């Protein structure tokens, strides 16, 4: 079988596929749309991360495609309806990068609370700006978690151990499960109102698009917003305004509505918005995990065995 990989994945995944006797081509520079349709001629398996848009147009033109493997959690860059209509399996790797994403979220919370990137930049420029930075401790503060799934739960455990109280909004989780994690399950508005730090861990769906906008940011008055999930969940213009005008103390973002982020994005001009380029899953362990798991799913599909996470 022929497999095309259009976003960088760990060699472990490529080796797994090659050792099984398949022809694997990596091409990380393909423009989406028609160029991807051309590249998919005669291809049976496509492996992507978040950088490749697998649209209806792409799937309409990919006659021999059996499976799209997503080496990561989110499948919002794949048109699932079109894939289903074409009988193309879509499989993700929902476990392998959970810890990495949770650790990055915690790192971003601290980076925002203590202005680490801003202080770093000033010091590197020769400015010992000790008196310009007065941080916030997370101890005894409330963490609001929107989305208590795999990553949300891991973030909850870590920040609870660091002295934070937990409130969570998640319509899909039971009170018992939230209790086990030590989180009070509350309504969406209450979650935001109680939070000193609000962290978002939802997929991007029509229901969650711009879930956090002007009204919600006003309710988070004096707090911090952390988003290491999906960019479109937070209204970026509203967030830039809320941090700029002091409604929020700061925000830390790993994900953006448009990636790579445009240099014109207003968020980049706001001092107390800190940013990383979608690095949540970028650890050696996580990348090896998701690449191997995705490769195994592709092999299962080729062998007509059950595909997990499809």
Any idea which residues carry the catalytic annotation? 230, 259, 278
In the complex, minimum distance from the CB of residue 219 to ligand MLT, in angstroms, rounded to a whole number: 27
Q: Which is nearer to ligand MLT, 250 or 280 (CB)?
A: 280
Least distance from C-beta 119 to ligand MLT, angstroms? 27
- Least distance (Å) from ligand MLT to the CB of residue 264? 23
Nearer to ligand MLT, 141 or 278 (CB): 278
| Sheet with 250-253: strands ordered across | 183-185, 165-169, 142-146, 197-200, 224-227, 250-253, 273-275
Cβ burial, residue 283 (10 Å; 0-12/13-18/19+): middle
**Least distance from ligand MLT to the Cβ atom of residue 259, Å:** 9
Task: Describe the chain by its helix, strand, coil percentages, rounded to 5.
Answer: 40, 15, 45
Residue closer to ligand MLT, measured from CB, 68 or 192 = 68
Q: What are the C-alpha distances in Å from 245 to residues 14, 117, 181, 238, 272?
A: 48, 20, 35, 11, 11
Residue 104 CB, nearest approach to ligand MLT (Å): 10
Residues in touch with ligand MLT (CB under 6 A): 49-50, 72-74, 97, 278, 281
Q: Which is nearer to ligand MLT, 77 or 142 (CB)?
A: 77
Cα-Cα-Cα-Cα torsion 33, 34, 36, 42, nearest 10 degrees, comes to 140
**Burial track 30-64 (b if 16+ CB lie within 10 A, e otherwise):** bebeeebbebbeebbbbbbbbebbbbebbbebbee
CA–CA distance, 305 with 301 (Å, rounded to integer): 6
Closer residue to ligand MLT in complex, CB, 108/192:
108
Residues 299 and 179: their CA atoms lie apart, in Å, by 39
Output phi, psi for 84, to 5 deg. Answer: -60, -45
Q: Which residue has the tokens 């001092």?
A: 271
3-state secondary structure of 228: coil
CB-nearest residue to ligand MLT: 72
């Amino acid at each position: 079988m022929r497999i095309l990989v259009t976003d960088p994945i760990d060699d472990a995944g490529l080796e797994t596929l090659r050792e099984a006797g398949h022809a694997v081509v990596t091409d990380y520079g393909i423009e989406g749309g028609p160029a991807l349709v051309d590249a998919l001629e005669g291809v049976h398996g496509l492996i992507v991360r978040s950088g490749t848009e697998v649209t209806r147009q792409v799937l309409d033109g990919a006659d021999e495609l059996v499976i799209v493997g997503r080496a990561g959690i989110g499948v919002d860059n794949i048109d699932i309806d079109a894939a289903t209509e074409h009988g193309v399996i879509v499989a993700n790797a929902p476990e392998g990068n959970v810890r990495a994403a949770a650790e990055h979220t915690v790192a971003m919370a601290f980076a925002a609370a203590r202005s680490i990137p801003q202080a770093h930049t000033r010091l590197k420029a020769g400015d010992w700006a000790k008196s310009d930075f007065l941080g916030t401790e997370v101890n005894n503060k409330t963490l609001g978690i929107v989305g208590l799934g795999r990553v949300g739960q891991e973030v909850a455990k870590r920040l609870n151990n660091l002295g934070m109280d937990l409130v969570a909004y998640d319509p899909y989780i039971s009170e018992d499960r939230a209790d086990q994690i030590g989180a009070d399950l509350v309504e969406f508005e209450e979650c935001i109102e109680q939070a000193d730090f609000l962290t978002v861990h939802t997929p991007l769906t029509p229901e969650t698009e711009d879930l956090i906008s002007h009204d919600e940011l006003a309710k988070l008055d004096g707090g911090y917003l952390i988003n290491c999930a999906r960019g479109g969940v937070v209204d970026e213009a509203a967030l830039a305004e809320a941090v700029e005008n002091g409604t929020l103390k700061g925000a830390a973002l790993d994900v953006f509505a448009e990636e790579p982020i445009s240099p014109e994005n207003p968020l980049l001009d706001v001092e107390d918005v800190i940013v990383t380029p979608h690095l949540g899953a970028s650890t050696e362990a996580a990348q090896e995990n998701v690449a191997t798991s995705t490769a195994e799913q592709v092999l299962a599909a080729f062998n007509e065995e059950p595909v997990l996470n499809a």
